[in-house]
Each structure stands twice: as C-alpha cells, then as structure tokens.
A and B are shown apart, each in its own frame.
Chain A
Amino acid sequence: MPRSPFVPIFLGDCPWPRYLWRVTVEPRLAEQNAAIALPEPFLRWFGEKGWSPRAHQIELLAKAQSGQSVLLIAPTGAGKTLAGFLPSLTELAVRPRRKPGQAHRGIHTLYISPLKALAVDIERNLGKPVEEIGLPVTIETRTGDTPSHKRQRQKLVPPDILLTTPEQLALLIAAPDARRFFEDLRYVVLDELHSLVTSKRGHLLALGLARLRNYVPGLQTIGLSATVAEPDELRRWLVSQNPAGGMAGLITVAGGAKPDISILDSRERVPWSGHSARYAIPEIYEAIKRHRTTLLFVNTRSQAELLFQELWRANEDSLPIALHHGSLDVGQRRRVEKAMGENALRAIVATSTLDLGIDWGDVDLVVHVGAPKGASRLAQRIGRANHRMDEPSKAILIPANRFEVLECRAALDANYLGAQDTPPLINGALDVLSQHVLGVACGAPFDADHLFEEVRSAAPYAGLTRETFDRVVDFVATGGYALKNYERYARIRKTKDGLWRVSHPRVAQQYRLNVGTIVEMPELNVRYVRQGRGMAGRGGPVLGKIEEYFAETLRPGDNFLFAGKVLRFEGIRENECVVSNGAGANIIVPSYAGGKFPLSTYLADQVRGMLADSDRWQALPEQVADWLRLQKEKSVLPKRGDLLVETFPRGNRHYMVAYPFEGRLAHQTLGMLLTRRLERANARPLGFVATDYSLAVWALDDMAALFKARKPSLAALFDEDMLGDDLEAWLNDSWMLKRTFRTCAVIAGLIEKRFPGQEKSGRQVTVSADLIYDVLRSHEPDHILLQATRTDASAGLLDVSRLADMLSRVRGRIMHKHLKQISPLAVPVMLEIGKESVNGGANESLLMEAADLVEEAMGRS
C-alpha cells in the first residue's frame, strides 16, 4: 500500500511506534528552534536518522524551559508522547552524573496514564531512543503488577522516570517516606488527560498533584490530551488554584487530515428499533474483506458478543476475527492485542477498552456499529484507524435503527465542523476526598488548616468550604456520626501538637488494600468445565467475569453468549459461575451494568434540529427521510426547541409519548416522576419505557382527556417542581441510590472492597452496604456520605441536571398532539415495551406470583 514515501521506514525498522517519533518535513523555523532548544546529542541523533522535531514539540520544550506548566492538545499520531517527555530528557541529558558515594537522587519525572498497559507500552517505546541517544536515564514502571522486591528497590534507588497510574501515586503518597521520594521531582506528565479528569480517578489524581506541589513548590505539569470542548478547564486542572484562576500554557495542534467517514446506506431495510444492527452483517463482512484490518466498535459488551457471533456466522472465508472487551480474561485480551500488533487479525470487535491511546497494528478501517452517542467520542474512536495524522482515517457508521441514522448523521456533521462535546468537569467528590485525607495521614501527620488550603488548590476542590472539609475529616476520624459513639475507635486523632495522626498501624494497612476509586459490581469468574460433568467437573480455564446479578437469573441448562461462545450454565460454586459447551436456540445475552453512554446534549440538539428542518433530510437515506415525511403527514414534527407530546389509544390502554431527546437516563428519571404524578391525578398509569430519544407512558385512563380538563394540564404535568419533593421521595427508595451508596462507601473507606474468594464468608462477617444504607438513611439522613451519594446519583444514574435543563427549556413550548392511532415517530419506543422493564418496586409482585403458583399447585386456590 504505497501511500507515503516514508511508509517503509515506519513499518520496517522503526524501533518505536509511528506515533512517538516520525519523519516529517517541517518548516525551517522549527529547525532553527530545534537548534536553540535541543542539546547536541539530540541534534546528532536526529541528523543520523534524517528526521527533525515538530514545531509543537519544540514549542512545548521552550514553554517548559521557561518554567511553565503546559497543556498540549493534539490529535492522535501527532507525536504527543515524545513532546511530553522532551523537557525531561533534555534536562536529564545535561544533568551532572551522580558521583560514587553520593546519595541516590529521587524521581525526576513522573508519568501517569489511565491504563497499566499504556505505562508498559511507553517504557518500551521510550527506552529505545534513550539508549540510542546515549542518555544516562533510567525508566521504570510501577503498577499493580510490579513485584514487591522491585517496588522496594525503587524506593531505595528511584529511577529518573517513573511510569505509573493514579492509584499507585495515591499509594506512594501514603507511604512515610513520600516527601523524600519526591523531593527531586521536576515534571509530572499526564497522558490521556481528557479521559482522566472526568472521573473520580481524576479527583484522586488532582489531590495527589496538590500533595506533590506541597513537596516541591516549583513542580511543573505537562498534560497531553485529545481535543476537548473546554481546554481552559484542563489548563486550570494542571496548576494550583491558589491563587484562583491560574492556568497552564496551551499548545494546540490543529487536526490532521479530515477523516473519511460515511454512514452505511444499506440495501436492507433499517429497523425501527433495537441495537443489534443484524441487518447490516453482510455489508459489514464485505467491508472487512475489502480492508487489511478492521476495527469494529460497539457501545456495550452485550452488543460486542452479539456482533461477534453474527460475523462468525457470516464468515465463510474463516477470516481471523477476534473479540475484545473488558469482561474477558486478561490472558485472552493480551493474546488478542498481541495478534493485533502482529497484524495477524483481519477484524477485532471491541468496546471502549480499546478507546484509549494504545494502538496496535495497521488498522485501515473503523466500523462503528450503533450510534456513537457523542461527537468527540466518535472522533477519538476513529482516530484509531491509521494513527497517522496526515492521512485521512476511514470509517463507516452503522446505525442500528432509524433514530440512530439521525444521530449518526448529526455526529458526522459535528465531526466535519470540529465540534466537541466532551462532558464538563464536575466538582470533586467527597468520598474521594475522604480517601485522600486518610492517605495523607498514613504518609505523615497533617495540620488541618494547611491540608485544607492544599486541597483547595486542586481545581476540582477549589470551591470546597471549610465546614464540608471539617466534616470529611470528622468522617475519616470517627465516622462523623451525630451519635458520638466511636471516639475510642478513631482512625486518626488530633494530638497535642495540633496535628492529625493515624491512631494505629493497622489503619495504614487497611488503607493500602482499599485505595482507588474503581469499584466493580460483584462479579463471578466464568469457569469452563467439560460437558456432561456438571458441577462436579474439575476446573478448566477461566473465560472472564460476569456480573453476579446476571448469573443469579440463570437456571442450570440455560444457554448464554459469552467470550464469543455459546455456554451452558451449570451452576454457581462459591465465587464461580460454572459453564460447559452449550448449544440451542434460546440463547441469552448477558446484560452488563454501565457502559451505556447516554446521548450527548450536543448531539441531541443536532438531532432535534435535523427533525425540524426538512431541507436536511436529503442527507439521510431515502427510507429514513420517508419515515419523517410520513410523521409530518400523520402527526407533526416539533420545532427545534419544542417538546412534542403525542397521545393515542391502543388496545384498551392510553399512551403518551414524549420526545425530549435527552438520553435514556434523564428519560428514565422523567418516566418515574411522571408516573408518580399521573398516579396522583388518578390516571392509573401502568408503566413506562425510555429510550435515548423518547419516553412512552401507558395508563388505563385517557390522559388526553385529563390534559384537556386541566386535571392536570400538560404544562403542569411537566412542571419543573417535580424535581423537588417527588424526586426526593422516589430517590430514597430507589435501588439506584443503594448501588451508588455502595460505591461511595467503598471509596470513602467505610466498607472494604470485596476480594476474590472472600465472597462466601463476606455475607456473614461483614455488613452489606444495603443494610448500612437503610440504617443510616433512617437515623441520619444528612450524613456526609448520603450527601455524596445523592450528588453522585443525580449526576450519574439519574442525569437530573439534564432533565432540569430540559424542563426549563420547554416551559411554554410543549406541543400536544392527540391522535387516533400510533404515529410513525412513536413506533421505535413502542417496540421497546416489554423488552426493557424498569427495575422498580415490583419485587413484591414477583413474590406474590411465586406464592400463588405454590397455592395453585397445592390446590388451595
């Protein structure tokens, strides 16, 4: 594939990946700059290779040398990683060598990435040029996999550059020798910053950085990021917010070649609803055959399993097609990654596990199955293809249903416009702060006034009040309960010198076991045994993990799809789900919690705009445009800012369908609240179902008649005041809040993480998070951990702020259309009825059914 004269160098003897260092013909200016900033060995080495550095690499070096922290925003393939390390390498190159007998020096540069694998990748790729230039620089990784003897040695003889993860930084800070270990630190390089900052891991990392700045006041940070909507948020994140408003310098590298993205214009009929995109399998398979390596992205692990299965069914040529998602066994994932690196695969079906900046092999086509849900997410995923900035990436979007066609179109338009919709940063979480406060105490005694100032210098916590901080410290010490029972069991205590200290070495031990912000759902290993051996079968390989709640719904003999295989469920043995080879027609696909991204606000607005403007329908496939025309004829299409609500009878029920386009989570919350209100209005609602685009509620009574009689009016039904008491009342009993509470309680250190093998004894020895939640809620509803839980749930699972924005936007703009029958636009959501049930308070009715069955069987009814 002769695409560029330099290709042979990249593919052949280039010792590190293309994205790290590449041949470019840069403007002469860059060369002059290079001559100024780069030490002699670097220039000689560049000369030997016939290469020259890029302008942004030199610019970053110059800014760093002037003492600034810097944010580098660049698309994939721009040589970001090298740029990030250039200030460290040039400085280390000219640093005087340590004389024998002199004390070992501390870490010079800390590199932090969200993925262990990325740290390992960088070690390999940075080592080669360092060796060739002849730099006296040591580079080592420190991750959860690093053996303890190596960790010990790293403490005594620290490497110059340490590559690690946010959790490991937290652990290093909690060690008694932290200050000495970091006293020579000059730079912290933060890779994939855009993905780190949006989560609680980002909060933990921001607090860690604040601690490092306390050790080394002149510390500089270098953030590497993909394009984001609000660069200034990241610039503030990188530096101390004391004084407030400080920002890192900014270098932006304009996007490379415009990606070549198309939407599949299928010969087949695009379905009304569903997510499988099964209709497009033959066309996807043809595309795979036409390309060297195809990367297929899906949004969820269930979809990955399904797509993989369907592709193999179509795979007449037995092309090497692999599956990669986060629930598969690590060994299997590594094998797939290796095969990919060796270009031994023709296609890989993957979820977001491959989203981040690792690239393997020569991907020349990205297929995105299902709607991308966000324009920035689409851009980042498509960046996987080629990974060369100057060549266009090639991608095909496969919408799984008709609304997704609109969404794909909107994402594609956004991509051409360069629009970004990365989520805004949120305030630092209090459970993470609790963990950090304990970690700081494990490292060294702290003064509360000083620590408060330090915490507030981290951007996510800039708005923290002293009162909240003191409550967090109180929580860490004794649980922070109104009933002061636990003074004598305090984990940290204020001593006479005014400093807070850990009260017992055991506290630090417990802290180290529980550090981090990633709390998994309870999971079971999937253990394979030979068929016919049942539960007695001896242990075969572990195929991966599935969530406990899914395994619990299986019956021995059920067949389900996992790791690309049909498996027969044999039973649950301790913390393992035992399976054998399966077959048969009724195959269940596991559902996984999380992983379903809601439609971004930006795309939602674009889709509403597209619906309202029939001129833009020309860009849509004919069958989809027809569908919209039909809707216009039979009902109405809302204006961009309006909310359309349709009502119609069907069977002996009355339906109401609303089209807010605010994403599934916000719609679910809205559905819960609307049904509560309709219940009070005696409309006798029976249920609701929510999709990313719309919401359907059904009731025994005629809701249209109620609206007409203004009992209540439609405007009153959708009034913002539903977010007050109704939300509060519903929330308190919601299973979503319990799930969120568990996560917060683990992060905050109230309950311990579950480790494999502990599950069995766990139920009897420890107290389940649900029980703690119930007791705490009824006795101290204002407890700080419940506050943190409500904040989390409102932002995450419930998307309350988005719902609030929508309700205020549509005030006075709700358009009611009463119909004799279902409208074309309503069909997709109506098809979801019965497929997705909302997990509400229906457990009692299930018990009732079971009990009635028993009665019936015994002839007592």
Chain B
Amino acid sequence: MNFSLTRTSLIAEADLVGIAGERAVCDPRGVLFFPELRLLAVSDLHLEKGSSLARRGALIPPYDTGATLLRLQAVTSDYQPSIVISLGDSFHDGGGAERMHASFRERLEALMAGRDWFWVAGNHDPEAPADLPGETVRELAIGSLLFRHEPSKVRVEGEIAGHLHPCARIVQRGRSVRRRCFAGDGGRMIMPAFGAYTGSLNVLDRAYAGLFRLETLMAYMLGSDRIFAISRSMLRPG
C-alpha cells in the first residue's frame, strides 16, 4: 500500500488504526493522520539538535533541520492537513528556533501557512519557539483525543503522546531488525520520533511500564513504504 496520495479519500479501511474510537493512518514516515479531522500529528522533531551538540564540541553535520523539514514538507503536501500538531520537543533546546538558519525558517513558515499549527510544549522546549507563528499549548483535547508530550502515568483513553521515541525489535531467521514504531493498545498511542537525529528506546524498556494493556499492545514498525504491525509476543528487548 502506497500512502503517497494527495486525496485522503483513497485511504483503505484496512490501513486505519483505531485509537479510542477515532481512526488514524499510521504513515510509515512516522506521522499520524486523522482523515475525518484532517489532522496531522508529528512528534519529537528535535530541530537544531545538530547545532545544539555543536555548541558542546561535537560538530556533526548541520543538515538535520533541513532533512527533517523536507520530510515534513512531503507528508503535509501528501495529506494537506488543516490542523498540524507538533507533539513537543519540536526544538532540541530553548535556543533552537533562534539558531535556525534563515532558509530553514522560511521553509518551516511556508509549510505552516494556511494551517492551524499547535506547538505542544515538551521537556526540551517548554517555552514557545521564538518568532514563529503557531500556538503553544501544554496539551490539546480534540474530540475524544488528548494530545500531550509526555504520556500520563495513569491510563488515559485517547491519549496521543511522544517523548519516549519508541522502537521495536524482532529476530527472524537469526537476524535482528530494529525499527522505529508507533506503539498502541487501542486506547492510547505513543508516536515515534520524527527528527533526523533522534534515537529510540525499545517499547519493552522499563520506561514504558504501566502505560499499555499488554495483551493488546501492538508495535507498528516503520518499513520503507509500509507499516508492519507486530504483536507484543514477537518483540525482543534491547
């Protein structure tokens, strides 16, 4: 199934994942799209992580912001959402928005134009990004859904969060495959990190303890052009 469609009506029923009664497309590029709401959610962009590390002496390539924005541009142009929610840690640190190269800022503003854009506050970027449009919120409720950065410790039906950078690992034929993933149990969903320089943490790690109903937990692992839905029994730690 190819999701590179501009007309969202072509999304097949079978590709939709249920979250507290709402239905969403888990796109293999790592974004969540709710066709009925024309809402696109993306998490943990960590823009300007490269320059953030460069300040401390690790001169890693300064192209991460550009790379992340290019991919974001591709998904917004495919789905044409009217609402975009960036689920926190949009910038790697509080000074990220200021450091951003002028050309990247223009690119970002262009893809924000004409949409309702929400910056959910994250632990890396608790304040509103400097000089950028969009509304900064702590959390956001839309219909039966609740969007916030860190998953709540208590179970909240319909919560969509980021922060943990989930990935999953399987071993098949003696070989190990690790991929970023969406993690969901039908009631809540944790989104994969979208940023070019973001690492990931296995869904079986302690950090996820108590967040999911284990019997229905699925890892939607990101393939190159499709999602692979893997049940918990197949997953390996590490």
Contact = CB atoms under 8 A, between A and B. Distances in A.
Contacts of A774: 196
Nearest to A779: B63
A775 B198 CA distance: 12
Contact of B58 (A751, A768, A839, A847): A751
B57 A489 contact: yes
Contacts of B66: 779
Contact of B59 (A486, A768, A779, A858): A486
Contacts of A489: 51, 54-55, 57, 59
Given A768-B199, A847-B177, A854-B229, A775 B57 contact: no
B138 to A, nearest CB: 23
Interface stretch (B73-81, B127-135, B220-228): B220-228
A778 B179 contact: no
Contacts of B156: none
Given A553-B175, A767-B53, A778-B67, A851 B228 contact: yes
Contact of B231 (A481, A485, A776, A854): A854
B101 A485 contact: yes
A31 to B, nearest CB: 61
Given A491-B59, A843-B177, A847-B223, A764 B172 contact: no
Interface string B14-52: 000000000000000000000000000000000001110
B176 interface: yes
B196 A775 contact: yes
B8 interface: no
A853 B199 contact: no
Overall SS of chain A's interface: helix
Contacts of A767: 49-50, 53, 60, 197, 199
A488 to B, nearest CB: 8
B173 interface: yes
B63 A844 contact: no
Contacts of B61: 479, 481, 772, 775-776, 779-780, 783
Contacts of B176: 549, 552-553
Contacts of A851: 228-230
Interface in B209-238: 221, 223-224, 228-231, 234, 236-238
A552 B58 contact: no
A486 B58 contact: no
A780 B58 contact: no
Contacts of A485: 51, 54, 62, 101
Interface in A223-270: none
Contacts of B179: 847
Given A489-B54, A549-B176, A846 B49 contact: no
Interface residues of A, number: 50
B238 A572 contact: yes
Nearest to A511: B57
A506 B231 contact: no
A653 interface: no
Contacts of A763: 199-201
Given A572-B237, A846-B172, A850-B170, A780 B63 contact: yes
A768 B238 CA distance: 15
Contacts of B63: 481, 483, 775-776, 778-780
B134 to A, nearest CB: 24
Interface string A483-507: 1011001010000000000001011
A363 B170 CA distance: 48
23 contacts: A479-B62, A485-B62, A485-B101, A486-B62, A489-B59, A504-B57, A552-B238, A571-B237, A572-B237, A751-B60, A752-B58, A766-B53, A767-B199, A774-B196, A775-B64, A779-B61, A843-B175, A846-B175, A847-B223, A851-B229, A853-B234, A857-B231, A858-B231
Interface of A: 478-479, 481, 483, 485-486, 489, 491, 504, 506-507, 510, 549, 551-553, 555, 571-572, 750-752, 763-764, 766-768, 771-772, 774-776, 778-780, 783, 837, 839, 843-844, 846-851, 853-854, 857-858
